[in-house]
Structure 1
Amino acid sequence: MRAKIIYVITAAVLVFYFVLAGRQGITLLGMGTWITVPLGLSVLAMPVVGVWFLWKNTRFVTRANQLAGELEAEGGLPVDELERDEYGRILRDSADEVFARRKAETEDGPGDWRNWFRLAVAYRDARDTPRARKAMQRAIALHDGKAVQV
């Protein structure tokens, strides 16, 4: 719940920033000089890219949470079996061991979104965020019945 609150607050702050930047871009365009028009266009590009990025991330997180809910209802969420140090951080060897099992499961059943979801969690636990995101994107695509590029 805390992560959702932080995400909503961060998104609200970003939207506020986008509005402010957009207003500045429009003001610069309104001046109409040879220097302010290109500057205004570039300032307007930032909120457009930012809104697109925020939308894509929000959609990704929402879909991943929906898959987690569905997997939980099936009783298929991965069990937290990771060993941790005295500070609560995951031990690398433990994460690597679980990752190897999840990877083998995914290689045995590459067309099952559930395997890709669990692999994404294993990647995240192993602190490999880019691969975790790609694995989750594949899980979402497979769940939605979309063609997946290999």
Structure 2
Amino acid sequence: MSLRIGVAVMAALLVLYLFLVTERAVLLLLSGDPLGAGMGAALFALPLIAAWALGRELWFGVRAERLGRLLADEGGMPQEQVAVRPSGRVERTEAEALFPRYRAAVEDSPDDWRAWYRLGLVYDAAGDRRRARAAVRTSIRLQSGRPAT
């Protein structure tokens, strides 16, 4: 629950920031100065890009969490016990040792969203966020009925 609160606080702060930047952009556009108008136009693009990125990340989080709950309800979450550091993070070497098994499951069933989601969890535990997100995105596509790319 604290993660959701953190996400909500960060999203609210970003929305406030976007509002203030948009307000400044409008003032620059209306300044009558050609340089100010150019800067205002450029500054106006930033909130649009940031709002799009925020929406995309929040939507990814909602869909990933929904799949995680679905997989947990089915009893399909990984059950291996791995050592945890005092900080709460998984020992990376132990997470990496699990990787071949979950990668083999994906290779055996490349259209199984559950296998891709579990692979994403193992990548995340090993600290490879880029591959974890890619695996979870593939899982979301497969679960929604779209083919993996």
TM-score category, normalised to shorter length: over 0.9
Describe the shift of the 1:11–1:86 C-alpha distance in structure 2 as closer, same or farther (beyond 3 A): closer
Q: Which amino acid aligns with 1:62?
A: V
**Number of residue pairs matched by the alignment:** 149
Q: How does 1:96-111 map onto structure 2 within 5 Å?
A: 96-111=96-111
Could you tell me which residue of structure 1 aligns to residue 34 of structure 2? 34
Could you tell me which residue of structure 1 aligns to residue 11 of structure 2? 11
RMSD in angstroms over aligned alpha carbons? Answer: 1.2
Describe the shift of the 1:85–1:9 C-alpha distance in structure 2 as closer, same or farther (beyond 3 A): closer
Quick one: distance in 1 between partners of 2:147 and 2:88?
39
Shift of 1:19: 0.3
Quick one: distance in 2 between partners of 1:89 and 1:145?
33
Gaps of 5+ in 2: none
Q: SS where residue 24 of structure 1 aligns?
A: helix
* Kept in 1: contact 2:92–2:127 (CA 8 A): no
Shift of 1:73: 1.4
Shift of 1:77: 1.5
Shift of 1:29: 0.4
Are 2:134 and 1:146 aligned? no
Could you tell me which residue of structure 1 aligns to residue 131 of structure 2? 131
Quick one: distance in 2 between partners of 1:141 and 1:32?
48
Could you tell me which residue of structure 2 aligns to residue 83 of structure 1? 83
* Kept in 2: contact 1:124–1:132 (CA 8 A): yes
Runs of 4+ deviating beyond 3 Å: 85-89
* Kept in 2: contact 1:82–1:98 (CA 8 A): no
Q: SS where residue 79 of structure 1 aligns?
A: coil
Quick one: distance in 2 between partners of 1:39 and 1:50?
17
